[in-house]
Structure 1
């Protein structure tokens, strides 16, 4: 008498490959690697990092430094989108924060002192937090749709920044303030360290405490989360306040890098880049689960793409076109339909379990 039983189970390589391909970070990381490869082909020294005067220099360092403001804005945008919201006012908050800080320094009797720079940054951050709190009030208390509530500040914000700077491009000379955007510490750009520090803090708060679960619960079903005892209004208010605070910090980084406050151009369209980074990273605009690591990869893709256009000798004016193409490709590959087709194809190519007779 014989019986059949399956051979000792061993996951086929195609099954493991299918699991990797279905991971939400696979295609974003693949797009980033492809961009780095293209740059390396056209510039073999692209990935080279050198040390000069104790500081690290090279294209990878430039990418990390240039992506710092977008990283800060995208972190706040990720939390807002996770609660089914959107924040279109981040660019205006960036402009306001830079205008407030540089105007204060310019009018100070001692613009070059560290105390003046710290006070200016503190005032700008408090104002940015207040603006984010205002957005949260309109959304969570008044009940205005997030896109409308933040559109109000988006429209009025640059006008406020223009009033602060009196319609002029404000420039200052302050070594302590310049350190934030153009300084180095331990060989790395200070702006990068600040952005990474904020990223680590948000990651700890959302993944090591209940905050992340509460944000996701509100985004998945606000009514059910409210009935379950979650303070949905407080959560929404908090994420909008954080978005304003992070945008204000990004505005300080941008203003410090050029030592000028341009109310018309500071942070222009950064809200669109932040939304693109969040979407590329796999966070759904419908709310619910979010991915900080995906947002991080999305920010790196956008920063690398901007540098790629320059390295290829293409006019920066067409950079938005390339951004649109990359976003379309990555989001298409991440779509549920494409994921389902990849899963079906993986199952078709996977070998059937062997049957042995005993």
Structure 2
């Protein structure tokens, strides 16, 4: 398909000459005689590949036309504009370039110069768009690969504990729901979901015999468990796609009033993502079957979270979790 160029000039002779030259160069040309005509035409017919715009026109000059064109619709912002001018005026050239014009062409036209400069800019824009499309494609492929790796890691984490199958996915869901109700953006919700999926990744380095031990853990065994946040953060810290991914892994066992592990952080010093995951993690732990107990009733779970409000948990995020519990009297939340 031929590239489409709109030429805007109040001089009929200039319009005919430019149209003839560019048509011979294999382009489709639309000729318009005013800035307002351009605005109306583009609003109705869409964006061309390039606009040749005269500066000195009665009524609305080229500069004002370009300003209004960029404000008119999003798709026009990327259309390259070349100003046409009969004068070599440095001030006008500076102003035009500052408004986003890509070039200036002096009138009267030299056929080869006009064709080549228009063709070069159109080719440059096409190349840029192709590169952007290729980058988007590669980004999507990398994102898909990253999600596959996360899914594999999540499966490996949950396979370590025979009693908490699906724990990582549930914590991720609860955490993203708390974030949503807290007014976080969609991107922040997605980031917290990913942190929730991988919050226990450090358990990969903890022996299965310790994780699944039905009896009380020895001090040495508990130290191994307590090391999983540090190990998890070490695993995740160099993932470029999500620089903050290690946040949930390292600090989801910190306590709001202090005394948690591994760093003994207090209150607002604990990253907000980790404070959210801490509540979600505790809720799922209490509503999951263990070797030494069954699923706890909602009433007891609610009481535990309420008692931990301001001590174990951030009070704001605990309140949201309590509201979610009150809405979930039949334990449907776990099935999401």
Task: Judge same fold: TM > 0.5, yes or no.
Answer: no
TM-score (norm 2): 0.23
Structure having the higher helix fraction is: 1
The structure that has the greater radius of gyration is: 2
